[in-house]
Structure 1
Amino acid sequence: MRYAMTMLPALRALRALPALALLACGGGGGGAGGGVVTPPPPVTPTAQQYVNPVLDVDFPDPAVTKSSDGFYYAYATQTTGLRIQVARSRDLVQWTTLGEALPNRPSWASESQNFWAPDVNEREGRFVMYYSAQIDASKRTNPSDGFCVGMATATTAAGPFTDVGHPVVCGPTFTTIDPMGFDDPQSGKRYLYWGSAGAPIVVQELAADRASFTAGSTPVSLVSPRAGNDPSAYDVGLIEGPWVTFHAPNYYLFFSGNACCGAAAHYAVMVARATSPTGPYDVLRNGAAAQPVLTGAGTWTAPGHNAVITDAAGVDWMLYHAINTANPFLIPGRTDISRRPMLLDRITWTNGWPVVGTAGNPTATPQTRPTP
């Protein structure tokens, strides 16, 4: 089932349930549609293997980076009692949650309970975080502004992060969320990607301060959701969660689409490629529809909003969230609020396109671990 455009605000609100409200409600969950799904028997991996999920807590929209301290760090959208989540790992498999990464709200979102989709990288001796937040009504320069991309910095990957004092970019409703900062390894130029709510995914070149854009630059549209009513497709209604990686000779833009959450979640990862970080991008398609490279199957449904990281052996891995069909909801009795643990699967490259997991599905059996 596809969410109509008129339902987008409600859909996004599900992703951004206030953290304090979640704290009051507690956790837990039941089966999809109110029933109970019997989980499969436990599988014990060897010391050289792992089994999904790699972080079995609510950890939506994960981003990952490798820090100069030798650890991998993952960051996620708010959940029970936390505004921006952070976790740490030596090997991408065993993760330790570290609590709150953004302890203080920014001045321009001092009333907001809605913080989404952080992305962090180590740049020029500091850690730079981009994140989404709902701007206070009194701080809007444009009455139509709803959400903005903010920037915060820290001296360590675990934080605490402090906002720079102003949004990087704002937009109407939910169009300006899910940021991803990217430094082009070929040109050295800095870029910011973002997009959702039925709008295109866009990119704009950042200035040296990373908190503003280069003079004269404008957002460039890269990939747009399709119109129409195709209940089987994932690129209708909305697309979001951009993640760009360079795998020579191409740049690959991963994105997710349709309905991330709730009892009718219908979500998957898609991909486009280009010879430049600003496109034009060629979407992998099956006919008119975007061809997913990761869709739900078996234990795991609605996978998406991914990050990509390369291990010490040069192997690419995808971190992403998904919904466990045996424990799909975060709050008892609330089928609109999904519980989304973090999963890990290897990316292989075939004919210039990525293949994720088991033929494009999340793995549920023991897999060979990454090389730390």
Structure 2
Amino acid sequence: MTATYRNPVLNADWSDPDVIRVGKDFYLTASTFTKVPGLPILHSRDLVNWTIIGHAVTSGYDDVRPGCGVWAPALRHHDGRFWIFYGDPDVGIYVVSAEDPRGPWTQPHVIKEGLGLIDPCPLWDDDGQAYLVHAWAKSRAGVKNRLTLHRMSPDAGKVLDEGTLIIDADLLPGYSTLEGPKLYKRDGAYWIFAPAGGVEQGWQSVFRAESIFGPYEDRIVLEQGSTDVNGPHQGGWVDTPSGEHWFMHFQDRGPYGRFVHLQPMTWNDGWPVMGADGEPVSGGRVPVPGGTPSAPATSDDFAGPELGLQWSWQANPGPSAWELRDGRLRLACVPGPEDLRQRPDVLGQRLPGDPCAVTTTFTLDGEGRAGLVVLGDTYAYVGLESTPDGPVLVCGDATPVPVESAPVTVGARVGDGALVTFLADTGAGLREVGTPFQATQGRWVGAVIGLFAAGDGTGQAIFDAFTVDIEKR
């Protein structure tokens, strides 16, 4: 029986994915903006079942800067090493590398400084020359809708020129916001796969030239058409050991973030054809048979020496903000902004794309407040807050409820459309509390669900296992 898959193959916020194959193994990375750690590394043997195996960037900004940090990366394997190039629109283009995708990775190195330099992608050519293409962010550079190519030192240490404008999409009818270029070479021709038109309503184009400096012909190869896959946007082309071709891209889903879809790809008259005659497919045959069902982790029993790889902080957490000990997660109620959106030490993970129920049991020890939060451009939480008369259960505008004994179980049920119902058990079973909350996306990211603690530094929240039950459809 032929194994089949359904899109999306990554049903959560894995923005701006890029994918490669090394031998029989596939690897994928994605944007993480100011989350810490950043640049997750995912592994698969069939392009459908994925697990997180590490991160390429382990630190970031000390403060929360929504929409900044690590933008659209390009993942490549060259000369026995894995390479990731990414843009920070406020600094420039960075590169990191590693012999093993699980790490350790080198510290980020700026290969080109400048504002608004985004979405870089390298190419090491057959003659030993190396190149780097990138797009532009108008919010920083004042220009967009164009792609610039640099000659690059083969060791990826620096660019060797000021750059050449190779595609000015202002000259192409109907084009806007050309970005996310991925540079390839096939049968002597140079190819740039790049989306345009914006993440919500755009399309995927490819550009072909006999010289890497152009001139380039263009063709739209994937667009929404009659499907419900809006976008479809930015991703990577990859082949299988048997020689088949596939394309992975994202779809913007508002509060859920950007989901990853897998499209079959063939060649016709020298051009790629994606999906079903240029429209996204809902699923199909698994590219490589024999894979083991898997998905990025969600639940965490906090029993390991490290946090699960699904977790990230909003920015660099303070050195005393957290600890794993005796099978529990301890978050210190450290001082910081009252607004949880501005706190680096909120620990979150991606919101599942299917309805789910999340629960955790915790104790608030000392002064402060702590609990379970759903956070995007807006946020809401259920948790405990200390008072002179003892801890109380708090949730939005609901009346605080005194807690007679610890620990307390809190949770959230996330339904269709990312509508959140908070739950709590103070001794009479898990019940709904507060009013439903509509989760909202953040700056270029989906909402996260996670844990927090805040206070004057004297208290701590001690969490038992964090459990996510996903309702599969």
- Normalised TM-score (structure 1): 0.68
> 2:203 aligned with 1:203, yes or no?
no
Instruction: Report how far residue 49 of structure 1 moved.
Output: 2.3
Query: How do residues 174-193 of structure 1 correspond to structure 2 at under 5 angstroms?
Result: 174=116, 176-184=117-125, 186-193=126-133
Report the residue type matching 1:178 in the other structure: D
For 2:130 and 2:62, the matched residues in 1 are separated by 28
Alpha-carbon distance, 1:240 to partner: 0.5
- State the match for 1:259 in structure 2: 198
User: SS at 2:159's partner residue?
Assistant: coil
Letter of the 2:153 partner, please give it.
A
1:327-338 matched pairs, under 5 angstroms: 328-330=253-255
Counterpart position of 1:361: 279
1:274 paired residue number: 209
- Alignment pair present for 1:212 and 2:130: no
Q: State the Cα deviation string for residues 251-310 of structure 1 (Å, max 9, x = none).
A: 2211111221xxxx22211111011223221223xxxxxxx2111242311111121111
8 Å contact 1:311–1:371 — kept in the other structure?
no
Counterpart for residue 302 of structure 1: 231
Deviates more, 1:121-130 or 1:313-322: 121-130
> Using a 3 Å threshold, how does the CA distance of structure 1 residues 153 and 312 change in structure 2: closer, same or farther?
same
Residue pairs, 1:1-372, within 5 angstroms: 47-67=2-22, 70-78=24-32, 82-105=37-60, 113-134=68-89, 146-165=90-109, 167-172=110-115, 174=116, 176-184=117-125, 186-197=126-137, 198-214=144-160, 217-226=161-170, 233=174, 235-236=175-176, 238-260=177-199, 265-284=200-219, 292-296=220-224, 297-323=226-252, 328-330=253-255, 339-367=257-285, 369-370=287-288
Measured in 2, the distance between the counterparts of 1:50 and 1:66 equals 19
1:133 and 1:63 map into 2 onto residues whose CA distance is 17
Structure 1 portions without partners, runs of 5+: 1-45, 135-145, 285-291, 331-337
Q: Does the CA contact (< 8 Å) of 1:193 and 1:202 recur in 2?
A: yes
* Structure 1 SS opposite 2:221: coil
- Contact kept in structure 2, 1:118 and 1:132, CA below 8 Å: yes
Deviations 1:118-177 (A, max 9, x none): 22222333322211124xxxxxxxxxxx34110112231133423244x111333x3x10
CA contact (8 A) 2:26 2:47 kept: yes
Larger Rg: 2
2:155 is aligned with what amino acid? D
Alpha-carbon distance in structure 1 between the residues aligned to 2:211 and 2:128: 12
* Bigger strand share: 2
SS in 1 for 2:38: coil
Deviation at 1:213, TM superposition (A): 2.2
- Tell me which of the two structures has the higher relative contact order, counting C-alpha pairs closer than 8 angstroms and 6 or more residues apart: 1
The root-mean-square deviation of aligned C-alpha atoms, in Å, is 2.5
Change (3 A) 1:147 1:355: farther
Q: Distance in 2 between matches of 1:257 and 1:213?
A: 26
Question: 1:320, 1:248 → 2: CA distance?
Answer: 24
1:104 and 1:124 map into 2 onto residues whose CA distance is 26
The AA in structure 2 aligned to 1:182 is L
**Contact map agreement 1:299 1:364 (CA 8 A) in 2:** no
- State the TM-score, normalized to the length of structure 2: 0.55
Q: Count residues with an aligned counterpart.
A: 279
- Aligned to 1:226, the other structure's residue is in SS state helix
1:227 CA displacement:
6.5
1:54, CA displacement in angstroms? 1.4
Letter in 2 for 1:226: D
